[in-house]
Chain A
């Protein structure tokens, strides 16, 4: 059974940093690209970043480019999202998803940026 389990969320002040993790199991992690998708409270879905199966290619939406870094450790089957210079508009539930199809989603982790 495919499982994606996010961790690392919480309350953070504007301008500070936070790192999210996503532990994957039930499939060969190193064979799949992975992504982060977020959802602000009561809002729709927004793609954040994607990383290729081997980590050699990364893609970001403009609003997080230069502030967020997606990475992965295939030996640990874990996906990461390093978030720096956080803003109030980054407040959202962050989902870890598998592949370009987002065919599996984690349960989500809430990130609240507020003073």
Chain B
């Protein structure tokens, strides 16, 4: 199984700052890497698909990059509503796997 390692586990942020979250795969997943946001007590929602492709309705401050084994989700100007858990997921090989998540909290 492809193991996705997300870091850091928790990130304390200040509104307005630019941040980067990491997702590292145990083997290449090409660009079959997607990012999801889960706010407290809500269902997850898709943020970025295929490593860097934007999703309609998602604010432009969210962007993704990477390929192979190293991926990054960036938020350019964190807002309070972004305080959530972020998961990466690979769709390259079965079983599809998710990372353990990175929790954004207020500094």
- CB–CB A100/B98 < 8 A: no
- Tell me which residues from 73 to 115 in chain A have a Cβ below 8 Å from any Cβ of chain B: 95, 100-103, 105-108
The residue from B49, B89, B94 contacting A45, defined by CB atoms under 8 A apart: B89
Total contacts A to B, CB within 8 angstroms?
45
B87 is an interface residue with CB less than 8 A from chain A: yes
* Chain A interface bracket (under 10, 10 to 19, 20 to 34, 35 or more): 10 to 19
A41 is an interface residue with CB less than 8 A from chain B: no
- CB–CB B43/A103 < 8 A: no
- Count of B interface residues, CB-CB < 8 Å: 20
- CB–CB B87/A103 < 8 A: no
- CB–CB A103/B101 < 8 A: no
Tell me how far the C-beta of B76 lies from the nearest C-beta in chain A, rounded to whole angstroms.
23
Q: Which residue of B lies closest to A35 (CB)?
A: B96
Chain A residues with Cβ under 8 A from B97's Cβ?
Answer: 47
Bound together, the chains give a CA A101 to CA B98 distance in angstroms of 12
The residue from A61, A62, A95, A101 contacting B43, defined by CB atoms under 8 A apart: A95
The interface of chain B, by Cβ under 8 A from chain A, is: 34, 36, 38, 43-46, 49, 55, 87, 89, 91, 94-101
